[in-house]
Amino acid sequence: MADHRLRLEKMIETLRETGHRLTPQRLAVLKVLSLSEGHPSAEQVYEQVKDDFPTTSLATIYKTINLLKSVDQVLELGFAHASSRYDGNKPYPHPHVICTRCGRVVDPEHTAMRELSRDVAIDTGFRITHHRLDFYGLCPDCQEAD
């Protein structure tokens, strides 16, 4: 579906452009994040990276993910009572469908709200119960403080 190789190259290029080193551990993390169709947690990335790189630490996974976040090469889906899930394929805001039972995270094919919810249900087979829509930015006071 998505061109994973291109994503990986884009990540690597971005790290270079921003003056960061490409260590083997980092490369392994980039690969998992760029190749994964799913939305893995840091722990899941860790498990995969350990296969080829047994000495890797979870801390390094987090550090690499944070680095990628800082250069907008990975999207973090943060939750209050569960670990964050990461999307390295589409590192820009887009809708997600999240199973409240098993935690599965799916990207709906369609991407406009009453009808959108219905479309998402049809696309994904989920039984939609609720949603979350947040806008982020600078409040008036914080714009002044710039």
* Residue 139 sits in the site that holds a copy of itself (CB under 8 A): yes
CA 28 to CA 107: how far, in whole Å? Answer: 24
Nearest Cα neighbor of 65 from 79, 51, 44, 38 is 44
Tokens 């959108």 -> residue = 116
3-state secondary structure of 87: strand
Q: What x/- string results for residues 69 through 108 when contact with a copy of itself is judged by CB under 8 A?
A: -------xxxxxx--x--------xxxxxxxxxx-x-x-x
Locate 74 and state its tokens. 């990975």
Given 80, 133, 139, 145, the residue binding DNA (CB under 7 A)? 80
CB of 107 to DNA, least distance (A): 20
What residues have CB less than 8 Å from 56, skipping those under 6 apart?
A: 25, 28, 46, 49, 50
Where in 39-58 is the site for DNA (CB under 7 A)?
Answer: 41-43, 53, 55-58
Q: Choose the one of DNA, a copy of itself, none that binds residue 1, judging by a C-beta under 5 to 8 angstroms depending on kind.
A: none
The footprint of a copy of itself (CB under 8 A) covers: 76-81, 84, 93-102, 104, 106, 108, 112-114, 116-117, 120-121, 124-143, 145
